[in-house]
């Protein structure tokens, strides 16, 4: 847990620096596209991540490997420089965490909220659309990106988490509220 917290603390300033660079150079869209493509590469290539994370390999070799891997992507010059800075500072293995924080900042700029929707059964397309529209109205966001999860222990209904706010419309949650209410009125 502490490694995750310290990694998050280290990733935040790098993400902010990349975001500031994207804003100042008017390349938010370009750098966001680059970051999403790189995230996919890091996700699909564990050997690449292991190689880049290994302190035994020289930084120049890591930069060469990155260049070979990213050349087909036609990354912007700023994104490539940023990756090289991460290599120079031995932070390249933190790229996925940095990228995640960068994307959250881009979403904030674009007034896009991320909602984690947990339901007892998979949502139908119409239900997803209705929830998305309700959340858009509730939050005032221009768009809602939904991450859907199925959790049968909810028994029915769904829960929505946006940031630190949790809206519980699940049967399990309603039963807990009822149990707490009955306990306080009986004793």
Same domain for 90 and 116, yes or no, is no
Query: For residue 144, which of 128, 122, 165, 159 has the smallest C-alpha distance?
Result: 128
Same domain for 54 and 87, yes or no, is yes
Query: For residue 16, which of 115, 83, 104, 76 has the smallest C-alpha distance?
Result: 104
How many H helices and E strands in the chain? 8, 4
Same domain for 8 and 80, yes or no, is yes
| Domain end position, chosen among 107, 132, 163 | 107
| 9 pLDDT higher than 90 | no
* Mean pLDDT of the chain, nearest integer: 89
How many folded domains does the chain comprise?
2
Contact 63, 84 (CB under 8 A): yes
pLDDT at 187: 52
Return the higher-pLDDT residue of 152 and 185: 152
Same domain for 28 and 93, yes or no, is yes
CATH classification at residue 65 = 1.10.520.20
Assessment of whether the complete model's pTM goes beyond 0.85: no
In whole angstroms, give the CA distance from residue 36 to residue 174: 39
pLDDT at 99: 95
> Residue 81: helix, strand or coil by DSSP?
helix
- The string of pLDDT tens digits covering residues 38-62 is 999 999 999 999 999 999 999 999 9
Which of 98-102, 110-114, 180-184 has maximum average pLDDT? 98-102
Structural domain harbouring 62: 2-107
| Domain end position, chosen among 107, 137, 166 | 107
pLDDT at 1: 42
Same domain for 136 and 65, yes or no, is no
Same domain for 89 and 8, yes or no, is yes
């Amino acid at each position: 847990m502490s490694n995750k917290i310290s990694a998050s603390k280290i990733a935040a300033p790098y993400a902010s620096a990349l975001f500031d660079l994207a804003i100042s150079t008017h390349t938010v869209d370009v750098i966001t596209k680059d970051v999403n493509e790189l995230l996919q590469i890091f996700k699909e290539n564990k050997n690449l991540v292991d190689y880049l994370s290994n302190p035994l390999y020289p930084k120049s070799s890591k930069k060469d490997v990155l260049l070979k891997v990213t050349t087909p992507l036609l990354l912007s010059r700023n994104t490539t420089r940023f990756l090289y800075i991460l290599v120079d500072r031995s932070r390249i293995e933190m790229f996925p965490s940095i990228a995640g924080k960068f994307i959250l900042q881009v979403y904030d700029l674009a007034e896009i909220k991320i909602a984690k929707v947990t339901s007892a059964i998979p949502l139908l397309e119409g239900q997803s659309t209705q929830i998305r529209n309700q959340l858009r109205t509730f939050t005032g966001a221009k768009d809602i990106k939904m991450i859907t999860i199925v959790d049968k222990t909810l028994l029915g209904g769904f829960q929505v988490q946006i940031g630190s706010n949790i809206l519980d419309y699940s049967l399990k949650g309603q039963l807990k509220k009822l149990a707490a209410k009955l306990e306080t009125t009986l004793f």
